[in-house]
Structure 1
Amino acid sequence: MPGPGYPAIELVGVSYGYGKDLPVIDDISLSIPQGQWVTLVGANGCGKSTLVKLMNALLSKGEGSIMVKGKELQSDTIGDIRKAIGMVFQNPDNQFIGATVEEDIVFGLEGQCLSIEVMEERVNSYAEKLGITELLDKHPSELSGGQKQRVAIASILSMEPEIVIFDEASSMLDERTRNDLLNILSDMHKSGRYTIISITHDAQEIAASERVLVLHEGKLIADRTPTDLFQDEKILEMSHLIAPFAFQLTTALHRYGVDISIPNCEKELTEALWPLHSIK
């Protein structure tokens, strides 16, 4: 298996449109290294979901070329590429197949023609990792929104894809459950096993990622670090994004001559401000 830095996904001149309308995706070229966590942002309708569905061959490719794990997306490679990419959707109810959580996880594994022993091991392993072991016998309708999202993630990860796409997976969750999802994403990233692409409007999720790709009217208009993105008011406005509170406050303090490093979270901001409060 190629190591970190090897391209997991490469797009060259990719365009896509529906009928005679203007292209939803317009001449996009980019490369995502293996192991990177990328957030994909932009206003509603800018083409984010269309772009990731092209990567996963859920939509037929238009113009340009798409390479996944070194294989060009063509009719004879679709099967291998779909095995390499897992996708977690906005509404987990759309992913449920089985009558119980366990059946739901097993469904995808059966499609991989795995042995019963391997399937049992994966069900138990990923249920434990996602904290849903006690839910295995429950019907999906008995679960809370956060539990459903954990089950959906377990179902995808149990198939052991190398690339995982989260399509606005946090948008229907409350703040506590969004934080839980963010912790899951962070743990996945730290493991080094996954290339993560998350479509999101959540500032904390963007801040935790390594890289931000910004779409506007089907075009890739920015490729930034989260810190650089949050300093660009024009891009934020175009993307309908608001910088995290810790970043906003730090930027305001800089204008008043208070020189502290830009924090990744409010905890880091508090730690940076406390010594200033103690100065007499």
Structure 2
Amino acid sequence: MAKTILEVENLSFRYDIRQEIETLQDVNFSVNRGEWVAIIGHNGSGKSTLAKLLVGLFIPEKGRICIADIEMNELTKWEIRRHIGLIFQNPENQFIGTTVQDDVAFALENINLSYEEMSLRIDEALQTVGISNLRLFDPSRLSGGQKQRVAIAGILALKPDILLLDEALVMLDPRSRRELISTLKQIKSKDNTSIISITHDMNEVAEADYILVMKEGRVVNRGTPKQVFSNNTMKFEYPIVEQLRRELIKHGKKMPDKYMTEKELVKYLWK
């Protein structure tokens, strides 16, 4: 049975307590170890506010957040941040060091790891994201995809249970995005790391195990990609494979009447 790593119960929040309307209203969900959960919704739906609550930048007005069996509050948020790492949309917001390896080492120095342990973690993190050859480079001079790999390596070196990506791939070109999604899938499989991705990219969402759809601070739909993308009332752009399936139906091709993954679609078309 899968072990729960994150529980969110009856979560509500507003930036100004004088306002009647809450930014988040009664949000409930959980994430298991090794699970990829995508959170989608239009601008203003509360996604980024939720991300800030999950890492303890805000404290909820109501409800609770529990990560690795620790309930979030002002006293525990520093301990909880060892279990969850946030990766921003712009990786340059996270750069501290003048070289890639110095940047990855920065957070490890803050938790007083020994030099030997730091070296091992830096080597492992850089190898995992495929940039060992860039360790002596200035991170600010790298390409967009390489910069985001440095940011991910810096978080991975801390060995968190959860990677939280807040539109982390949105600024990348399609090739870099595909490569990083592949890397994240490997990290998830190899280390049983949970991933929460907040994104507008439906092709990224299609890689998730589970999807939460947010609107005006509430979770209005949830389910597997097959369940969510089979909903004809969804007001989002569908992933490329689902767009193709629907176009083939429009042009008279007999196709299954439900969402298909890329592998399923290719297999079906080759029959």
Structure 2 CA distance, aligned partners of 1:141 and 1:53? 25
What is the aligned partner in structure 1 of residue 193 from structure 2? 194
Secondary structure, counterpart of 1:12 in structure 2:
strand
The alignment status of 1:114 with 2:110, answered yes or no, reads no
Q: Give the C-alpha shift of residue 106 in structure 1.
A: 0.4
Aligned-residue identity in percent: 39
Q: How many residues align?
A: 267
1:233-275 CA-to-partner distances (Å, cap 9, x unmatched) read: 323x1xxx2112321332454575714474311x542332133
What is the aligned partner in structure 2 of residue 244 from structure 1? 239
The alignment status of 1:9 with 2:37, answered yes or no, reads no
Structure 1 CA distance, aligned partners of 2:120 and 2:24? 41
What is the aligned partner in structure 2 of residue 258 from structure 1? 254
What is the aligned partner in structure 2 of residue 143 from structure 1? 142
1:97-153 CA-to-partner distances (Å, cap 9, x unmatched) read: 111111110001011110000001111111112111121111122101011000000
Structure 2 CA distance, aligned partners of 1:26 and 1:76? 24
Whose helix proportion is higher, 1 or 2? Answer: 1
Structure 2 CA distance, aligned partners of 1:27 and 1:165? 21
Structure 2 CA distance, aligned partners of 1:17 and 1:213? 20
Structure 1 CA distance, aligned partners of 2:189 and 2:125? 16
Contact kept, 8 Å, 2:34 with 2:189, in 1: the verdict is no
Which runs of no fewer than 5 residues in structure 2 stay unpaired? none
Which runs of no fewer than 5 residues in structure 1 stay unpaired? 276-280
Structure 2 CA distance, aligned partners of 1:186 and 1:66? 25
Structure 2 CA distance, aligned partners of 1:89 and 1:40? 15
What is the aligned partner in structure 2 of residue 63 from structure 1? 62
Secondary structure, counterpart of 1:242 in structure 2:
coil
What is the aligned partner in structure 2 of residue 206 from structure 1? 205
What is the aligned partner in structure 2 of residue 94 from structure 1? 93
Q: Give the C-alpha shift of residue 224 in structure 1.
A: 1.2
The alignment status of 1:274 with 2:270, answered yes or no, reads yes
What is the aligned partner in structure 2 of residue 76 from structure 1? 75
Secondary structure, counterpart of 2:27 in structure 1:
strand
Secondary structure, counterpart of 2:25 in structure 1:
strand
**CA-based RMSD:** 1.7
TM-score by length of 2: 0.93
Which AA in structure 2 matches 1:141? S
Structure 2 CA distance, aligned partners of 1:273 and 1:262? 14
What is the aligned partner in structure 1 of residue 158 from structure 2? 159
